[in-house]
Structure 1
């Protein structure tokens, strides 16, 4: 895919609760090339949003991050606060879910979009105003709306403002965390199309988080599936969505009805049970209590990602060449890491 922009290496995030360290993200390894679009999917509680926030150290003080997050050659975990502040917005920016909660209700949207431009590029207010007008037009809004307050805009318009803010300082990477949550289907399609066009036209890398596999497979080049804080499958978007190798990925894909097949709506393929509580993860593979393809080894073995094709990996004993009969060397092993609080 080209030069690597983002390299996530053995990333683990734990929260301190009731005197114990609870792991929300457990040993994640991912890479994102310049200009590439990577989607991360999984049920609520799988660690998707925690992973996104950890990339720019936006987690609360109760969180501990170990591992490496190498962005454009620099390790975010090691950055000083001054350097980290310079990287946020200018090197990487985030489109949060729920724009109404992310925008300041007492400032106009024009002022909020201009703020990072003035801070990072040190241009005057008139120059920033011109940039704001152009950014609003880029996301399909009239420049005159710069004087509006968040409550005067629709949900789709507020999300467009968030995208304009993310693009304001021309970052190398945009992290979009459930960018279409709570939007109706038509507006959702518009926002996704807008993000896709803007990213493709500028060469920006995109890391998009969603629970909707069909959305991610349409927008992204590759997909990573998370379960109980771990990546259980990663590969080309179409392959992961339509030819999943991990039983959990297959269950996520099957949960969506087939467009053009009315009968599929009458045969939902949901997944029984709930994701495990991070405070009491099962032994072995975390998915095995819900897995329709469970084997005896799954109770005790927690397999690492294993190649199942071109740039396609899955963490399941079923994909091993010997079908799990000999698992030596396939078990996830802890590695030495650096710590940031």
Structure 2
């Protein structure tokens, strides 16, 4: 088998507080093949952005990270600072949400796009300037915009600048963390089409994070659904969006009405309650207090990912087990052993 470009193994991220360490990401395992597009979905607070930042060690000093993040076989978490600086932008880059807060307001966008090129590719300033103009053209902007400052651009243009920066050093992996946040629907569609086309034409792997399952299903090959810091479902994008096997994945997909369907308009689906406090997670399956189809033992069994259909579709729900997991005891060990 081909070695994945990115392999996340047992990743746990905790933040230090007065009451101790609070785990925002709890034992995540994911892989991303070369040229593949993987979407990560979930509500706010599910751990998506923390996961993205952990992959390039961009978390604050208060964060404690354990596990392994293998990028092309090399553990990012074990890299020295010199090696890590070489990997950022050139090996893997990130498109942050909120471009206005990510761009330097006192530098032109041309200088900001050129900075990683000059640092990692060791070219002349004239060559870097030429590359900047090429990148701006590729993201649908006039080359003369290189002399503009961030405040002189629209929200969609600033996001295009972020995409140009992410592609500047031709990385193998691009991490897109909510890249269309705060953009209107038309601009959002343009940005998503742009990202999809650029990564596909260059054979770049994409890890895209969003709360919008419909957006991810249009762009990505596979989807991973996160809840309370864990991955609760993984599978082909179309399968997860149209036939989710975990009740939470189904609730996320059901939150998007079908255009032209009167029933969907008159009876919009939603999910009651709020995500759990990471400092006070419920026992058993963390989703069971909000689950409309929970079983009696869901408050005592915390299932791991289990085969839930063809094409490597898995879900962490006892309902995908034989007899809906009725033979399980309160001890979650049988579930874990069965997945090894």
Q: TM-score, normalised by structure 2?
A: 0.96
Q: How many residues align?
A: 333
In the alignment, the residues of structure 1 paired with residue 253 and residue 16 of structure 2 have an alpha-carbon distance, to the nearest angstrom, of: 34
Corresponding residue for residue 301 of structure 1 = 301
| Structure 1 residue runs without a partner (length 5+) | 334-341
Deviation at 1:148, TM superposition (A): 0.3
In the alignment, the residues of structure 2 paired with residue 99 and residue 27 of structure 1 have an alpha-carbon distance, to the nearest angstrom, of: 30
Question: Aligned pair 1:242/2:259, yes or no?
Answer: no
In the alignment, the residues of structure 1 paired with residue 58 and residue 242 of structure 2 have an alpha-carbon distance, to the nearest angstrom, of: 34
Secondary structure of the residue aligned to 2:290 is coil
Corresponding residue for residue 92 of structure 2 = 92
Alignment of 1:105-124 (within 5 A): 105-124=105-124
Question: Aligned pair 1:210/2:203, yes or no?
Answer: no
Alignment of 1:39-78 (within 5 A): 39-78=39-78
In the alignment, the residues of structure 2 paired with residue 172 and residue 74 of structure 1 have an alpha-carbon distance, to the nearest angstrom, of: 14
Corresponding residue for residue 161 of structure 1 = 161
In the alignment, the residues of structure 2 paired with residue 19 and residue 238 of structure 1 have an alpha-carbon distance, to the nearest angstrom, of: 41
Deviation at 1:329, TM superposition (A): 4.5
Question: Aligned pair 1:182/2:168, yes or no?
Answer: no
Deviation at 1:308, TM superposition (A): 1.2
Corresponding residue for residue 339 of structure 1 = none
- Please tell me whether the aligned partners of residues 302 and 332 of structure 1 are also in contact (alpha carbons under 8 angstroms): no
In the alignment, the residues of structure 1 paired with residue 11 and residue 327 of structure 2 have an alpha-carbon distance, to the nearest angstrom, of: 28
Deviation at 1:201, TM superposition (A): 0.2
In the alignment, the residues of structure 1 paired with residue 7 and residue 30 of structure 2 have an alpha-carbon distance, to the nearest angstrom, of: 6
- What are the Cα deviations for residues 203-229 of structure 1, in whole angstroms up to 9, with x where unaligned? 000000000000000000000000000
Corresponding residue for residue 338 of structure 1 = none
Secondary structure of the residue aligned to 1:278 is coil
| Bigger RCO (CA 8 Å, 6+ sep) | 1
Q: TM-score, normalised by structure 1?
A: 0.96
- What are the Cα deviations for residues 29-65 of structure 1, in whole angstroms up to 9, with x where unaligned? 0000000000000000000000000001100000000
In the alignment, the residues of structure 1 paired with residue 202 and residue 271 of structure 2 have an alpha-carbon distance, to the nearest angstrom, of: 39
